[in-house]
Structure 1
Amino acid sequence: MKLIAIVGTNSVRSTNRKLLKFIQTHFAEQASIELVEIDDIPAFNEPSDRQAPTQVQILSDKILSADGVIISTPEYDHSIPAVLKSVLEWLSYTTQPLIDKPVLITGASLGSLGSSRAQAHLKQILDAPEIKARIMPSAEFLLGHSGQAFDDEGQLTNSEKVAELETIFAEFIQFVEITNQLLAAQTKTKQAFSWK
C-alpha cells in the first residue's frame, strides 16, 4: 500500500513531522509512506493566468497516485495552520485530488489537548464539496505534550500511545482497502474544473 503523509505546517521544529517520521518507520512493513512538506507552496491567490504553481501540481500528482493520505496538523489558535489551509485551497480550486481519497488525521501539540480542535476543524474543511475526502470515521490520534514524547532517535516513548497508534493505523489500512474497493465498483465521471 502506498500512502502520502503531509506535514501540516512549515515549522522547522514541528513535532508533527516527528510523528509522521515515526509512523513512516514504525509501519514500514505495512505500507510505503512518503513524507511530503508544504513549506515551499506559496499562499493561495487565484492566478491571473489560471495556472497553479508547479509545487501544487507535484503534490496533487502524489496524492492522486497514493492509496491514501495521512495529514498531521498542529493547533494554532484553535485551528489548523494558515499554510495547511492555503494548500487545501490550492487543491480544491485546481485538480481536486482529495475527492474520494481515504484520509487519516493525526496531530501533535506541545499542550495537553494534542490538536483536538484543529483536527475537528480539519475534518470540516476536508468535507467541503470541492475537497470531499473520505475521512476515516471515529478515529483521531492526539499526541499531547509532544515536545517530550520522542527520544533522541525519534521513537515515541509512551507505549500506550504507540499501541493506540498501532490500532488506528491497522484500522486505516482496512479503511483504505474497503473504500478503494467500493470506489472501484462505482462508475462516476469527475467533472472538469473551471475557474469560472
Structure 2
Amino acid sequence: MKLIGIVGTNSNQSTNRQLLKFIQNHFSEQAEIELCEIKEIPAFNEPEDKLPPTEVKQLSDKIIHADGVIISTPEYDHAIPAALKSVIEWLSYTTRPLIDKPVMIVGASHGSLGSSRAQAHLRQILDAPELKARIMPSAEFLLGRSLNAFDESGQLVYPEKVTELEECFDEFLLFVEITNQLVKDHRFKTEQNKQFTWEAANGGEQE
C-alpha cells in the first residue's frame, strides 16, 4: 500500500514532522509512506485560470497516486495552521485530489490535549463540497507532551501511545481498502463532485 504523509506546518522544527517520520519507519513493512512538506508552497491566491502553481501540482499528483493520506497537524489558537489551510485551499480550488481519498488525521502538541481542537477543525474543513475527503471515522491519534515524546533516534517513548497508534494504523489500512473499493464501484460520483461549483449551487450567484 502506498501512502503519503503531509507535514501540516511550515515550521522547520515540529514534533508533527517527528511523528510522521516515526509512522513512516515504524510501519515500513505494512506500507510505503512518502513524507510531503508544505514549506515551499506559496500562500493561496485565487488564480483566474484555476491552475495550481508547480508546488501544488506536485503535491496534488502525489495525493492522486496514493492509496491514502495521513495529515499530521499542530494546533494554533484552537485551529490548524494558516499554512495548512492555505494548501487545502489551493487543492480545493484547483485540482481537488482529496475527493473520495481516504484520510487519517493525527497530531502532536506541546500541551496535553494533542491538537484535539485542530483535528476537529480539519475534519470539518475536509468535509467541504470541494474536498469531500473520506476521513477515517471514530478514530483519532492525539500525541500530547510531544516535546518529550521522541528519543534521539526518533522513537516514540510513550509505550501506551505506540500501542494506540498501531491500532489506529491497522484500522486505517482496512479503511483504505474498503473505501477505495467502494469508490471504484461508484467512480462517477467522484467525477461529479470534482465539477461542483458554488456558483452553480447558488443558481449563478457570486459573492
Fold equivalence (TM over 0.5): yes
**Match for 1:170: what amino acid?**
D
Q: Aligned partners of 1:49, 1:171: CA distance in 2, in Å? A: 40
* 1:102 matched residue in structure 2: 102
Q: Measure, in 1, the Cα distance between the counterparts of 2:159 and 2:31.
A: 21
Indicate the percent of aligned positions where both proteins have the same amino acid: 72
1:172-191 correspondence runs (5 A): 172-188=172-188, 190-191=191-192
Equivalent pairs, count: 196
Q: Does the 8 A contact of 1:94 with 1:193 survive in 2?
A: no
The answer as to whether partners of 1:6 and 1:71 remain within 8 angstroms in 2 is yes
Alignment of 1:58-77 (within 5 A): 58-77=58-77
Compute the displacement of 1:183 (Å).
1.1
Contact 2:130 2:196 in 1 (8 A): no
Aligned to 1:39: 39
Moved more, 6-15 or 44-53: 44-53
CA distance in 1, matches of 2:129, 2:27: 32
Structure 1 residue aligned with 2:123: 123
TM-score, length of structure 1 as denominator length? 0.96
Partners of 1:44 and 1:73 in 2: CA distance: 18
Give secondary structure in 1 for the equivalent of 2:188: coil
Cα-Cα RMSD: 1.4
SS in 1 for 2:106: strand
Letter paired with 2:2: K
Residue of structure 2 in register with 1:21 after alignment: 21
8 Å CA contact retained: 1:92, 1:131: yes
Counterpart secondary structure, 1:188: helix
Tell me, in whole angstroms, the C-alpha distance in 2 between the residues paired with 1:194 and 1:139.
29
Which residue in 1 is equivalent to 2:205?
Answer: none
For residues 127 and 50 of structure 1, do their structure 2 counterparts lie closer, same or farther at Cα, with a shift above 3 Å needed?
closer
Aligned to 1:143: 143
Contact 2:52 2:95 in 1 (8 A): no
Shift of 1:194: 8.5
Q: Quote how far apart the aligned CAs of 1:184 are.
A: 1.2
1:121 deviates by: 0.3
Within 5 A, what are the aligned runs for 1:152-171? 152-171=152-171
Provide the TM-score with structure 2 as the length reference: 0.91
User: What is the alpha-carbon distance in structure 1 between the residues aligned to residue 10 and residue 83 of structure 2?
Assistant: 7
**Please, which runs of 5 or more residues in structure 1 have no aligned partner?**
none
Contact 1:96/1:131 (CA < 8 Å) preserved in 2?
yes
Q: Which amino acid aligns with 2:82?
A: A
User: Unmatched 5+ residue regions in structure 2?
Assistant: 200-207
Match of 1:87 in 2: 87
Give the 3 Å change call, closer, same or farther, for CA 47–186 of structure 1 in structure 2.
closer
Q: In the alignment, which residue of structure 1 is the partner of 2:111?
A: 111
